[in-house]
Structure 1
């Protein structure tokens, strides 16, 4: 064990009955260190953090936190750490100030210190103006910041944060990390769990977890160095033919088509992908991202690439299938969607980005015929969403973030239910279900209840259920939330195949990396569509020659706020 370590874990594991959910985890966290535990849903992150917070008792191994054994001195550990669960543990009927006062009271913060500490935390979180607002009326990002404040009020030496930015837009995520940077500068150690791979860069060291076992551990630079030479970018005017060659190369783990006919690929070994012909204009190694690092670290567990269905060559985008003209929706005096106009062509993938509360979900509900616009009009495949909602719903598919599957039913029973709900003729059940299963990349339909399937399989099954009636338009609400990068990459291959079939696709996501897989992006803020276009066009509009998607996202929001200030 390292002297003066804040956290010392050795051979840590946890079992439930005969099932191991975490095994062989060893690491130390030093004073003032930020330690990231990175992995998809089901990796064991929450179990690990709850053991560090002395909420769960380890089944095996040893663990000391702040010098105390988590088995024998659990109450002392619990009193000294700041633990923020995914569920916040806030009280929605209390105001911001009352939640902080309550947290201070149960943590025995001296009343003489409360006023000054609360003022500092509210200022740091930008919540001064909202201290009299009830917690239940706050946005998701503001609730996250309040939860951090309640865990900082007793000035703990160690913060343990379980997915602090889950479901939070990139702008709020950046604000959260400013608070954490301030806490770190004050000398606090931080252990946080996340499924957002890019957040690993905020760590001094990173533990990658998959299926309850460590994949790799080190500094972000060390982990990237281990993936050098195994990630390539390929430029081509014939992406479909290049993808077929990559799929046939056993050394290729995964590949993704980016906007502008560029393909990024990850390999099992440090060598270029084997591509024949003259279709390649560029092939070169590129700097690995943390998503690339996780993918190549998972190479041993990655099955060979199987194309879900013999997709036709990518076609030219057709006529507009989705049309919205100055669509507005008000709830009383509040305007949720403000004069939005857009069109989406057959075979086009449109990514909707925006802060929490920007109006994305309300706009999708209008386009799905579930909510009538207050003003303006919208059509799906020529049918008015307000006056012909039944015809609209027969032509759309919808996959929610939580997948909307029935966990007690089998995969086949779920498919049958959705086929009936979408009005598929009974005589076509077998053929439609077979097509949807093939298109969703499900090699076989498991006959056990869906609740026992892996997240990646449930994700593909949810897609199959959403397309079993062969919709013209598919709405995907954060379809890859919480899944590992390899599953995410392969899911986007399914989306590309559907788009090649001519399906119009609207995707919302907080993974900004996924924006590069879309044909166009729509950026929303305060109910307005503040920008729409291809990523290259949006960069040019901001005067960016390169720049990340996050820089584009934040650039348009900053410009919009400046315009509001001037006017």
Structure 2
């Protein structure tokens, strides 16, 4: 480091303004050599902006930042030459091969030609990419692309690595491999600073900085932050969850609610505690007990209480006529030997599947397993190479107009128009679903209220937070009250509280008769689903509920969904046994 600085990163009263809005303000931060420091906080809290300031991409509007001993404004080129910075989006060249992308990065970073072959071998071996040297980047799975992007940022052996959501959109196996690479890098003495919405990644850090509305509101080790929520978390298992919402009305001490599959967790202000009046109201619904805080609980407690997000997404009871689909099919989805080929590549291989009406069915699998292709086949967006599918009582095939009116589809990229307002996007989708004018107006008002978007109708979509865009995409897909709803990675990159609210709404839709098919890489979400379908290399290798999937494995049942997922993938890879979870 230049000038013998004690810290790798020093920020003093640093802030960044865009127009009249402060994205980051009054940040004081020090990071020492060899530390792993995580930035966590709500969507739009300023994590990406702060990382870009530290990477000397954005100049501070106030205060100053020093990185590796250099000032980020006056000596930006010295910083950018010495660090590795990996943004959320991919910065690779999709037409270049794996080895060509890495060679290009090495030339840009002035890696000596004599050293490059050994570094290339070591990095690609560590990333498991040696068998794919000549594969174009655009043909890689999401997990492979993330690992290649990390390799291109490590090729010059930087002393500091800045990562923005490294696990975003990456399957559990690839995320595990990414972290193995990062831990190897850290052992060499390097420093890692990253932003994440995954609380299991936050727990890997030496220290965390919790951001809210551009400010760092708390710093410390994961244990120290958990201690700040001690005595503030309570759990109950009510027979009627809707009663919890009524009980929490006008309860000022409540900071947030987490709707879990088997319990409801309530976070209260640690300074106020749980009032006796609220305890009595909750105890009428079931036993109330204090619970040790997790990092997700800490997230809820540290968020500022006057956040603009609505405390719950749905005000209507499950089963209400407004939530119920227009058409109630006998069976939600049924496929027979459904197959899709792209040239010689089998993207979906002989999939036979049945999903009952009103069921929440999760498709789990590694990046490139065929989940999105299967959904696009079921939506009629891709023709099948062979086999058949029936969705919401409609045979999938040519002339998909009738099918389109009975399904909703929320793709990974949300399919929104960023230059239009929230209201304009809703108007467009209502027109696409051929809703009459008066019906469209009522449907839009309902969808806005249901998804907590009231007050955002005139805002440009490009200026919304990730969680708000997620809710808008869901609102657009619900306008016509579909019988079957397809959600492809709907919670990728959103904060834990937004994720809990989202699943609360999905549960209510299911209870009202909507069939939901969802893909996710955040495997703890599988507990919200009635059944799981595990995919590997285009094949459906197992389907069933969690107990039956666990029971089908020999030996001691896996403790977590991630361990179960990895066990089935390993069986499929080695060809040991036939994994079956009892399709219905």
**Match 1:291 to one of 284, 289, 296:** 296
Partner of 1:501: 512
Q: Is the 8 A contact 2:370 2:537 kept in 1?
A: yes
Does the alignment pair 1:554 with 2:566?
A: yes
Alpha-carbon distance, 1:538 to partner = 2.9
Partner of 1:182: 184
Question: Distance in 1 between the 2:43 and 2:258 partners?
Answer: 22
Check whether the contact 2:392–2:407 (CA below 8 A) recurs between aligned residues. no
Q: Using the alignment, how far apart are the partners of 1:371 and 1:247 within structure 2?
A: 46
Deviation string for 1:212-232 (max 9, x for gaps)?
222321111111222223233
**Once the 2 structures are TM-superposed, how far is the Cα of residue 77 of structure 1 from its aligned partner?**
1.6
**Inter-CA distance 294–258: structure 2 relative to 1 (3 Å threshold):** closer
**TM-score, with length taken from structure 2:** 0.89
- The answer as to whether partners of 1:318 and 1:347 remain within 8 angstroms in 2 is no
Q: Is the 8 A contact 1:309 1:441 kept in 2?
A: no
Q: In structure 1, what is the equivalent of residue 582 of structure 2?
A: none
**Partner SS for 1:300:** coil
Q: Secondary structure at the match of 1:369?
A: coil
SS in structure 2 at match of 1:274: helix
- Counterpart of 2:86? 84
Q: Distance in 2 between matches of 1:65 and 1:445?
A: 38
Aligned 8 A contact 2:255 2:305 in 1: no
Between the aligned partners of 1:289 and 1:445, the Cα distance in structure 2 is 32
Superposition pairs for residues 131-170 of structure 1, below 5 Å? 131-170=133-172
- Does the aligned pair in 2 maintain the 1:34–1:191 contact within 8 Å? yes
| Cα deviation code 1:518-549 (max 9, x no counterpart) | 22222221111222222343334446567222
Other-structure match for 1:39: 41
Supply the distance in 1 between the matched residues of 2:532 and 2:4 (Cα, whole angstroms): 48
2:229 maps to 1:227:
yes
Aligned to 1:351: 362
Give the deviation of 1:393 after TM superposition.
1.0
- 1:3 is displaced (CA, Å) by 5.8
Asked if 1 retains the 8 angstrom alpha-carbon contact of 2:9 and 2:32, the reply is yes
Residues 95/432 of structure 1: CA separation in 2 closer, same or farther (3 Å cut): closer
Q: 1:127 Cα shift?
A: 1.5
Match of 1:215 in 2: 217
Cα distance in 1 for residues equivalent to 2:93 and 2:7: 34
Structure 1 distance, partners of 2:528, 2:480, is: 25
- Tell me the CA shift for residue 475 of structure 1: 1.1
Shift of 1:326: 2.4
Tell which deviates more after alignment, 268-277 or 390-399: 268-277
- Matched residues in 1 for 2:280 and 2:333: separation? 38
Partner of 2:50: 48
Distance 1:152 1:452 in 2: 32
SS for the counterpart of 1:111 is coil
Alignment of structure 1 residues 124-523 onto 2, 5 Å = 124-246=126-248, 249-259=251-261, 261-269=262-270, 270-271=273-274, 274=279, 276=281, 283-302=288-307, 305-306=311-312, 308-312=314-318, 319-387=330-398, 389-444=400-455, 446-523=457-534
**Distance in 2 between residues matched to 1:288 and 1:222, nearest whole Å:** 11
**SS of alignment partner, residue 305 of structure 2:** helix
Q: Give the deviation of 1:414 after TM superposition.
A: 2.3
Q: Which moved more, 1:479-488 or 1:335-344?
A: 479-488
Distance 1:237 1:541 in 2: 30
1:350 CA drift (Å): 1.6
| Contact 2:83–2:159 (8 Å) recurs in 1 | yes
Distance 1:183 1:455, change over 3 A: closer
**Alignment check: 8 A CA contact 2:106 2:152 kept:** yes
C-alpha displacement of 1:471: 0.9
Partner of 1:65: 67
Match of 1:525 among 518, 536, 541: 536
How many residue pairs get matched? 566
Distance 2:431 2:78 in 1: 56
The superposition leaves residues 333-388 of structure 1 with CA deviations (integer Å, 9 ceiling, x where unpaired) of 21111222222222222222211111111111111122222222211122111255
- Is residue 2:24 matched to residue 1:13? no
By how many angstroms is 1:246 displaced?
4.3
Distance 1:89 1:15 in 2: 25
CA distance in 1, matches of 2:544, 2:235: 23
Q: Return the alpha-carbon distance in structure 1 between the equivalents of residues 397 and 377 of structure 2.
A: 8
Deviation at 1:445, TM superposition (A): 5.8
Give the CA deviation at 1:190.
0.9
Counterpart CA distance in 1 for 2:37 and 2:305 is: 25
Query: Cα gap change, 1:539/1:2 in structure 2, threshold over 3 Å: closer, same or farther?
Result: farther
Q: Tell me, yes or no, if the aligned pair for 1:247 and 1:307 is still in contact at 8 Å.
A: no
For 1:215 and 1:488, the matched residues in 2 are separated by 22
| Structure 1: 5+ residue stretches without partners | none
1:254–1:489 CA contact under 8 A, matched in 2 = no
Deviations 1:368-417 (A, max 9, x none): 12222222221112211125522111100112233322233333332222
SS in 2 for 1:310: coil
Matched, 1:563 2:575: yes
1:94 maps to 96
Check conservation: 2:558, 2:564, Cα contact below 8 A: no
Query: How far apart in 2 are the matches of 1:247 and 1:491?
Result: 19
Decide whether the 8 Å contact of 1:321 with 1:504 is kept in 2: yes
- Cα deviation for residue 276 of structure 1 reads 4.6
Contact 1:246 1:275 in 2 (8 A): no
Task: Answer yes or no: is the 8 Å Cα contact 1:234–1:282 preserved in 2.
Answer: yes
- Between the aligned partners of 1:455 and 1:268, the Cα distance in structure 2 is 26
